[in-house]
Amino acid sequence: MTDFSENIVNQRFKTIYEELEKHNLIKGKSDLANKLGTYNHVINSILKGQRNITVDQLHKLFEIYGVNANYIFGNSDEMFIAGHAAAEAIPTRSLKERQRGGRENITLVPERALAGYALEHQDRSFMDGLQKFSIPGYDGQLIAFEISGDSMLPTITNGDVVICEPMERGEPLRDNQVYVIVTDVVVAKRVQQIRDGHTVRQLRLISDNSAVYKPYDTDLEDIRQMLKVKCRLTSHAIN
């Protein structure tokens, strides 16, 4: 049997696989195989040096996971494109770290208030009526959202709270970064900017649980507010 393990592309694919697993961006070989349009045994064979990864599989790896093509061909030490999930994972803290009293600079928007926030986030009386708390190390006037559902698994889990910094309109965005986007609803998604020439016209909103939730596009003019996700608070075990 031919040994493909000396192929630099296959060597680096194995390293990428381990990194994706470490950041919980894949749930094993079957999950990656599904994303790359192949089978579990094919991924297993590539990892064992028994076959080469195909060009089509490489293109999907670049597109879906933000892998740096120069890295996989041995021309760079940067594994992921800057701004990608694996390059910049969301810091994670325990929900138990929430503190009441003192500065209380973080406003919590619970799940039941999300619809109201979409309509009234500029209303001072609405915002003043929401619970406040603080987290050590996070300063400034921040907004926290209680997340329900599984669309952002495994990055954000049902019941997690994401702490966000409101952005100014026109402030630069980073593709593949996680944001909270406020239209007539409030969602947490990765974004990719869709340009008409040099002008961004739309955002593609992407769920990490992409096997269930498909990407969709929204016009910039329909976006009422963008918030950058700075931290995730969870009740689940933290590695």
Task: List, run by run, the mean pLDDT of 10-residue segments along the chain (239 residues).
Answer: 78 91 79 93 94 93 88 86 63 90 93 96 96 93 96 91 95 88 96 88 91 93 96 79
What does the pLDDT read at residue 237?
60
What does the pLDDT read at residue 66?
85
- Give 179's Cβ-side CA count (13 Å radius): 25
For residue 212, which amino acid is it? V
Contacts of 176 (CB under 8 A, 6+ apart): 66, 81, 83, 84, 85, 190, 191, 192
pTM score, two decimals?
0.66
What does the pLDDT read at residue 52?
93
For residue 230, which amino acid is it? K
Which residue matches tokens 């990490």? Answer: 208
For the beta carbon of residue 122, count every other beta carbon within 10 angstroms: 9
- All domains in the chain, ordered by first residue: 8-72 (1.10.260), 92-234 (2.10.109.10)
What does the pLDDT read at residue 90?
81
What does the pLDDT read at residue 83?
55
Q: In angstroms, rounded to a whole number, what is the distance separating the alpha carbons of residues 104 and 197? A: 44
Q: What are 232's two structure tokens? A: 């995730």
Contacts of 72 (CB under 8 A, 6+ apart): 9, 12, 13, 16, 58, 61
Q: In angstroms, rounded to a whole number, what is the distance separating the alpha carbons of residues 211 and 222? A: 26
